[in-house]
Amino acid sequence: MTATITENLAPVGMAERIEAMDVLRGFALLGILLMNLEGFVGPVMASASGVDPALTGADRIVDLLIYILVQGKFYTLFSLLFGMGFAVMSQRAEQAGRPFAGIYWRRGLVLLAIGLVHAIFIWAGDILMMYALCSFLLLAFRPLPYRWYVWFGLGAYVMPIGFMYLMGAMGSLLGGTEGWDKAMGEIGAQMQALVDSERAAYASGSYADATWQRLKSTGMALSNITMFGFIAFGLFLLGAWFVRSGAIARPLEFPRLYAGLRWVALPLGLLAMLGSVALSPTMDPTTFNLRASTAFALQMMANLLMCLGYLAWILRALQGPMGARALSLLAPAGRMALTNYLIQSLVCTWIFYGYGLGYFEQLPRAWQPLFAVALFSVQVALSHAWLSRFRFGPMEWVWRSLTYASLQPMRLQLR
């Protein structure tokens, strides 16, 4: 029976793909690289924490712009797209009357294995493990009416905000007491020791040194799954709603939704982000008070609202001939999102780490966006060339072949 089921299952064919999702994945890849580059050039644990107070001039301006416009917005978009992918697979299985859970479990386990290899042997800033671990929970929500996905998704997304407000209230009440200050001091010392050990291992250590350090950093990152797992899972459900409702495949049928996202959500998100920066431009993981909690809450609100605004503007641009032609250039990169994500890590760690070219902490912040755009442009060109001959990217082929327990046909049938 298993063999029969496997034979009847296959990856999404070209004619069944939703091109808007491929374009959005390509767009998200650029944003992910812009965000992650700080964690390639320097210590991973010191990145993505807001504006670096040590920067001045053009470096500070670029750092501020990346923080306001990019950081947190594109992993949010990537998470939405992951949930959309789940919903597309689920719908296809329902329409064909085929079992789905077994294939989906295998898909998640393969992604988890890829994420582990990536995190330990390439770069400690991996997001794939978190996605894989959270993705299994989606099966429990599959039978529910899709209208519920929005409320459950938003509920999961705001839970970390509530937790941070609880910590902020405790910090405001207990700050200055010997026990609290000692505990925060120990956390701060541990974080600084981890940053220092990353700097030593990645700047001048051997590949073995870097691998050992990545193993330690990955363990630290996974310890935060109880918090960031809620964020990712909430976004998965919101992404699934976009597919199940038809909003991503038929955006013209949802004019009020997308107009609201473009003209209300995006401006409100930008205002929230500016408010967060005004309250606390740098997120100190050892500072817990109501001011810091409010800054975090505003940032989380901004991440979601701005991400949805970006999505709505991309879909709007795709409705016009000029926008569609320009943005369609991103679609091949989006179809190879897993391959391109891993290539970004391979190339950047080879350039910046000590066991590679050794340019660790040597690329100024002001030049990092130019580097990211140049690398991504090369990836777009290579994706076009690859997919003119093959059905999948290399890692997409591996992922699908292991998921469906059979080697997938790789070459296109060119006429």
- pLDDT tens readout for residues 223-262: 878 888 999 999 999 999 999 999 999 999 999 999 999 9
pLDDT of res. 12: 53
Q: How far apart are the first and last CA of the chain?
A: 36
CB 17 within 8 A of CB 9: no
pLDDT of residue 225: 83
* The pLDDT of residue 11: 53
Q: Which of 314, 354, 129 lies closest to 223 in space, CA to CA?
A: 129
Query: Which residue type is seen at 41?
Result: V
Identify the H or E element spanning 413.
none
DSSP secondary structure code for residue 68 in this structure: H
Continuous segment of H or E residues that includes residue 246:
none
Q: Which residues contact 357 (CB under 8 A, 6 or more apart)?
A: 350, 351
Angle at 123 between CA 236 and CA 371, to 5 degrees: 90
pLDDT at position 16 is: 55
pLDDT in tens, 36-62: 999 999 999 889 889 999 999 999 999
pLDDT, residue 191, reads 87
Which residues have C-beta within 8 Å of that of residue 161, sequence separation ≥ 6? 296, 297, 300
- Tell me the pTM: 0.93
Q: Which two tokens stand for residue 57?
A: 């001039």
Residues with pLDDT less than 50, the chain: 1-8, 14-15
Distance CA 104, CA 414 (A): 31
Query: What integer pLDDT is reported at residue 414 of this predicted model?
Result: 60
d(C-alpha 252, C-alpha 321), whole Å? 15
**Given this model, what pLDDT does residue 183 score?**
86
- Whether the CA torsion 230, 235, 240, 241 is positive or negative: it is positive
The 8-class DSSP code of residue 407 comes to: P
Q: Are the CB atoms for 95 and 8 separated by under 8 Å? A: no
Give bridge partners of residue 50 from the DSSP assignment: 282
